[in-house]
Structure 1
Amino acid sequence: GPHNPERPEALTSIGEVKDKNVLLVDDEVRTGGSVVNAVEVIRRNGAKDVYLAFTHPLMSGEAFQRLAALDLKEIIFTNTIPVPKEKLLPNMTVLSIAPMLGEVILRAHKGESVGKLFNE
């Protein structure tokens, strides 16, 4: 069928995942379609526990349902976008960006390099 940008196709995995725990990393999750595809591929290749980490939770209602159905060991993301507590799944961990933002503000105020913060 036609290419759907909300559900990109993950055709293969690079590297050996058989009998290994896998950490999937992405910048954001919207619909969860690409995550579903990636998890299907790595599970088909024999992965053990699968973890998901991403920065921005731009999640639609269907994304929560899709993620819940995947039986991931842990789903980790930041609070760049607020997610209501009642929507959080038991395996979700939300990391605060407050310490990093505080350090950025402090360095900018002191005239120190902010870019260096991300290279340390």
Structure 2
Amino acid sequence: MNDMKEKAMGAVRTFLERKGYEIVDEAWQGPEGIGGIDLVAVDEDGTLVFVDATVRIGTDGFPEAHRARGLREALAATWLAGNGDDYADTPVRFDEVAMMVVKENRALLRHHINCFGEMEPLS
């Protein structure tokens, strides 16, 4: 990862911490070939949040999410299988944070909380 992208990921982390999130894992890598999770955090309500962060350098608009829902859910399940003992009976949510870096110390940030929306209960 280049310096600008590393700096941008640090800014995403700081943004979430300022909103009251506690970062519990970052840059976690799943089994070979399936990818990883950018950030795992706990929000102020105690919800475990899997955060996908995307960064675009330039003014061409915000980056689009780059991972499909099924893959993100599979990665979260794998993370929980190895790290989830402290999070039994904890609600889980998926967020996206998109950052557009417009110059070295200037960026716009969009935080999409619960990006998959609420599921309808099964009857």
TM exceeds 0.5?
A: no
Q: Which has the higher helix share?
A: 1
Larger radius of gyration: 1
Q: Which has the higher strand share?
A: 2
Q: TM-score, normalised to structure 1's length? A: 0.29
Q: TM-score, normalised to structure 2's length? A: 0.29
